[in-house]
Amino acid sequence: MNIYKNLNEITKYIDDNLEEEISYEKLSKILGVNVYTMQRLFSMITDISLAEYIRKRRLSNAGYDLYKGNLKVIDVAVKYKYDNATSFSRAFERFHGIKPSLVNKHTKLKNFPKIFFNENIKMTTELDYEIITLDKMDLYGVSIATNNSKIGIDAPLFFRNIIDKYSNKYGEIKYGMITYDIERENSKKYYCLFDKKIEKFEHIIIPKSKWLKFRINSQDAKEIQELSHKFYNEFLPSINYNLKELPELEYYHDNVTDFLVAIY
């Protein structure tokens, strides 16, 4: 499967249906995975959530429609699937920096272009992995809000701060955890987790599941991030696994890191 060819089919389908309800099920069938996996892949490769991409494409086109001067604000709101003119006007002003009712031939508007993918990219990385089953885990920890662009800095700094603050009292951090809200931007949280009960920390339950395990022979943040990038951009698009709606885990032990992704 050429993931980039299929992603171009997805962005084409989206552009062809900006004035209609966009079926995530149809998009997932283009990639041959479930809806959740499709959304994760899209957001990790493009650095924007699918919902946000669709929203920005609609608002970009809405600006052009109003610039032409042929439609009323309410007509454009309905055209691009907004429930009412008020919610459309708020979204339009946040995106373009001007109220839709004030748009005229001299207005400067923002354009969010359709994403095109280079279909000639070759995927040559080899990653060794195992499929393992882990029993239910009860973990306790603290978190920091982050996103795709910031996590490379946020996670290592937060990890070091938690070690400095709590290691003498609670011992080593056992897991790093990344949670996703794939419907929103700035949607990640990074957790430092301990495998012992700590009353003041958040209690995290990880249910029994099957996992893809990739071993990194260090606990270096840069190496972990490089493997995560290779996983989403090269490994996952080339295989037929569906992701489970569970957080991504990093298990730190014996001077190595196990990068864990839950699958069906």
- 161 within domain boundaries: yes
234 and 167 within one domain: yes
pLDDT tens, position by position, 48-80: 889 999 999 999 999 999 998 778 999 999 999
Cα(51)–Cα(40) distance, integer angstroms: 11
Last residue of a domain, one of 85, 102, 119: 102
Q: Mind listing the pLDDT tens digit for each residue in 207-230?
A: 999 999 999 999 999 999 899 988
Q: Please give the pLDDT value at position 135.
A: 97
pLDDT of residue 159: 96
- Residue 29's pLDDT is 93
Residue numbers of the domain that contains 205: 130-263
Mean pLDDT, residues 146-175: 92
How much is the pLDDT for 187? Answer: 58
**How much is the average pLDDT of 6-18?**
95
Q: Give me the number of domains the chain comprises.
A: 2
Residue 169 has pLDDT above 60, yes or no: yes
CATH number at residue 178: 3.20.80.10
Q: Is residue 109 part of a domain?
A: no
End-of-domain residue from the set 48, 83, 102 = 102
Give the CA angle between residues 259, 185, 16 to the nearest 5°: 105
Clarify whether residues 154 and 258 are in a common domain.
yes
Can you give the CATH number for the domain in which 38 is found? 1.10.10.60
8 Å CB contact between 56 and 96:
no
Please tell me the predicted confidence (pLDDT) of residue 125: 62
3-state DSSP helix/strand/coil percent for the chain, to nearest 5?
45, 20, 35
As a whole number, the mean pLDDT across the chain is 91
The token duo for 170 is 């609670």
Give me Rg for the CA atoms of the chain. 22
Regarding whether 62 and 136 lie in a shared domain, the answer is no
- Residue 161 · residue 142 · CB < 8 Å: no
Q: Which residues pair with 243 in a beta bridge?
A: 263
pLDDT of residue 175: 98
- The number of residues in the chain equals 264
| Mean pLDDT, residues 23-42 taken together | 91
One-letter amino acid at 101 equals S
Query: What integer pLDDT is reported at residue 1 of this predicted model?
Result: 60
How confident is residue 179, by pLDDT bands cut at 50, 70 and 90? very high
Cα distance from N-terminal residue to C-terminal residue, the chain: 20
In this structure, the answer to whether residues 201 and 237 fall within a common structural domain is yes
Q: Does a structural domain hold residue 119? A: no
Pick the residue with more confidence: 149 or 231? 231
